[in-house]
Each structure stands twice: as structure tokens, then as C-alpha cells.
Amino acid sequence: MTDRLTMQDPRAQYPQPPFPRQPQPVPGLAGKMDPQPDHGETSYKGSGKLTGRKALVTGGDSGIGRAAAIAFAREGADVAIAYLADEEADAKEVVVLIEAEGRTAVALPGDVTDEAWCRTLVEQTVAGLGGLDLLVINAGHQQNRQSIAEVTSDDFDRTMKTNLYAMHWIAQAAVPHLPAGASVITTASVQAYDPSAILLDYATTKAGIVAYTKALAKQLLEKGIRANVVAPGPFWTALQSSGGQPPEAVTKFGEESAYGRPGQPVEIAPVYVLLASQEGSFINGEVYGVTGGAGIA
């Protein structure tokens, strides 16, 4: 593979389906995926855009959160990552990568469906990093169900608590610590605008994330704090192989995009960097779609 910043046809830049069949139990590990996702471990090059910043990234062990955490560290930020205890193997790799940049890494294993833990992880971030001025609320739960009859109350509750309640709890706990110039970034999805039939509860939460963040942006700007949303399309992450898509769909995941392939997490990391950095100073209450050509409306 050529350097990702070398001019080339983006359709052929990363692996295309078909992929091997690879079902995993929830929550799934990036280390068990084939092909391995590119989170920027060797391909993301920083340029000091976040020097001295202090970031919390939820879901920072793998997927889009991992890519954001790596990029933030390469850009000069200290980074705390929140993740489930079952994802420790992936999280340890991220901690090593952050520390390799000479940055402070704080590992925060726990379940964000627990309100008390959401508030504690913010306090532990502030204590471990000496403050907080970048907040990426990214952890998500996605499980496909073929019929409305199969979406149990437990399913619905877990998706809502992971994707919406936790966002509120973490943001509420974090805002008192955020100074003017800080940035909040949430992760929605193209599902908020073009929902799949098999993702009723997930799509609902992603639409909620958009509305919540737009409202929050109006509040926070009065404090000099920006809030924005990133809305990904199909990205090659463990979320898909651990039940986010049916196993047979994973083998051809991303082929429906205009690119004929899924995005790799490193391809969305620069958007998080832009929204986090002072270069994005006039960007607030916006939704940035990174969908491989699908659009977000």
C-alpha cells in the first residue's frame, strides 16, 4: 500500500470486499478483524495542531475512537480513553501508541451505561491529565435485528443508554471543566438520515445525537466552547463484526458505497482533528458527513 497522503485513486486505496466471514461476540476486538483496520498506527502523521491539549475519547480502544485518540496524540494532546473491560487488549495497544508520542495516556475501563461511572470517568480524566478541553463522545452500541418483533426492551434500553444517556451524563459532567476554546465532538452516523431497516434503535439514537449536539452547541457557545457532530458512513470497525451487521453482510461490507469499499478509521481522523483544533474556530453546531459519497441528507 502506498502512503495514504500520496495522490492516488481513493477507491483502490484500502481493501475492498469480499472479506472473510468473521463473527465476534460483543463488543468485538479490532485485533481479531481480517483485514486489520487502519486506525493510523503507522499512517497518521501529526503537525502539532493540538499541542498541550487534554482529551477524553470514549470508545477509544478501537474503530473511529481509536483513530481519533491516535491522531490527537500525534498532534500533541494528552489523551484519556474510555472503553469496556472486555476491550482491554485493544486499549493497551492505544495506550502504547499515545505514550510513544511522549504524551500522557489515561486508561479508563468501565461501562458507560452506568451513570455513576460516566461521571467518575470525567473526574478521573481531569485528575489524570490535569484538566480537560477536548471531549469526543464516541462509544456506541449497534446490534442488528431483522424485525421490530426482535427488538426487545433490553435491546432498546442498552442502545439508548450507551448512545444517548451516556452522551448526556458525560457531557453534563464535563462541561464545568471545559474552558473557553474547548471543543465537544459527538459521533452520529449516516443512519440518522438514511436508516437501515435492521437498525431501528441504533438509527434512532444517531438522530438523537445530532439534535442533542446542535442544541448543546447553542448553549456552549455562550461559554466560548464549540460542539459539532461527525456522521460516518460505512467504516471498517469491530462494531460491524460483533453484531452490528449480520455475519454475511460483513463479508461484503462497504461494497454499496460509491467507493466500493468501507472507509478505514484513519480516513475520518482528520475531521476530528479539525473540529478539535483552533483551525475549526468558526465551526459550531455542524454535522460533518464522512460517508464515501452517500451524503447525509
Active site residues: 202
Cell (9 digits) for 43: 499512517
CA atoms within 13 A on the CB side of 27: 23
Task: Give residue for cell 453546531.
Answer: 285
Residue 115 amino acid letter:
E
Task: Give residue for cell 478509521.
Answer: 265
Distance CA(52)–CA(105), nearest Å, equals: 13
CB atoms within 10 A of CB 125: 28
Helix, strand, coil fractions of the chain, as percent rounded to 5: 45, 15, 45
Instruction: Assign 86 to helix, strand or coil.
Output: helix
Distance between first and last Cα of the chain: 33
Cell (9 digits) for 251: 463479508
Distance CA(42)–CA(56), nearest Å, equals: 22
Cell (9 digits) for 200: 431501528
Q: What does each C-alpha distance from 97 to 9, 16, 41, 66, 100 come to in angstroms? A: 29, 27, 7, 10, 5
Cell (9 digits) for 109: 475501563
Contacts of 123 (CB under 8 A, 6+ apart): 173
Nearest to 255 by CA among 1, 19, 39, 9: 19
The H or E element spanning position 80 is strand 78-83
CB atoms within 10 A of CB 223: 13
